[in-house]
Amino acid sequence: MRVGVLGTGIVGKTLAAALVGRGHHVMLGTRDVRRKMEEKAEEGSVSYRRWASTNKKVRLGTFAEAAAHGELLMNATAGHASVEVLSKIRPADLRDKILIDIANALGEWGEGPMELFVANTDSLAERIQRAQPGVRVVKALNTVTAHIMVNPKGLAGGDHDLFVAGNDPDARERVVRFLREEFGWKTVIDLGDLTAARGLEMLIMLWLKLWGVFGTADFNYKIVR
């Protein structure tokens, strides 16, 4: 399958590498391809050029090119930029496709505490769906760190939970199947329509606190019934 992953941060790159390893044809989308290839590494990370040298099957294009490439799309852009990024894509290249929205509604990193720019009565996922009515948005994967997204068995043998929400029941079902078959998720809880994304996105504030308490992002939620 052809997959377009929007965003070249750690989430986008982790998803791309895992999907290529599963035999899919993946294109990562970025604002400026040349600039991305020339970008220097931030402290504690590697440059995109260096990463690409060991992930040669992953193609790099603009956001618009990645969207045109993908039969399935994944939004791994920074949440504060997601709506604007998608506005640069031709509606025809989004129409009837599923967009797995992984982004959280966090403002830009800077001094001071992190804050949500939308909560309670709306969500980033809903804003994306309203701005791009032709695409089928399914919220998923935003409640775990990148390497757990693609390898849930690496934590507690995979005995923990993931959630999906979206207005299209068929799209939700297909995403649940994709998450199980491609990444090995055992339990994916369908929360219904996109209003559920409000709660899923607000979980990031708890997630950040837990990261600080544990000193690691290697954790997830388990619903005990």
Most confident of 26-40, 108-122, 169-183: 169-183
Looking up residue 95, the CATH number of its domain turns out to be 3.40.50.720
Does residue 107 form part of some domain? yes
Predicted confidence at residue 30, as pLDDT, reads 97
What are the φ/ψ torsions at residue 85 (nearest 5 degrees)?
A: -60, -45
Does residue 125 form part of some domain? yes
First-to-last C-alpha distance (Å) of the chain: 36
Predicted confidence at residue 116, as pLDDT, reads 95
Dist. CA 27–CA 13, nearest whole Å: 10
Does residue 225 form part of some domain? no
Does residue 224 form part of some domain? no
The whole-chain average pLDDT of the chain stands at: 96
Does residue 11 form part of some domain? yes
88 CB neighbour count, 10 Å cutoff:
12
pLDDT digits (tens, 9 = 90+) for 199-217: 999 999 999 999 999 999 9
Quote the pTM value: 0.96
Task: Provide the number of structural domains found in the chain.
Answer: 1
Does residue 45 form part of some domain? yes
Does residue 116 form part of some domain? yes
Dist. CA 89–CA 83, nearest whole Å: 11
User: Which of these ranges, 20-29, 45-54, 98-107, 148-157, has the smallest mean pLDDT?
Assistant: 45-54
Q: What is the residue range of 135's domain?
A: 2-214
pLDDT digits (tens, 9 = 90+) for 75-106: 999 999 999 999 999 999 999 999 999 999 99
Does residue 221 form part of some domain? no
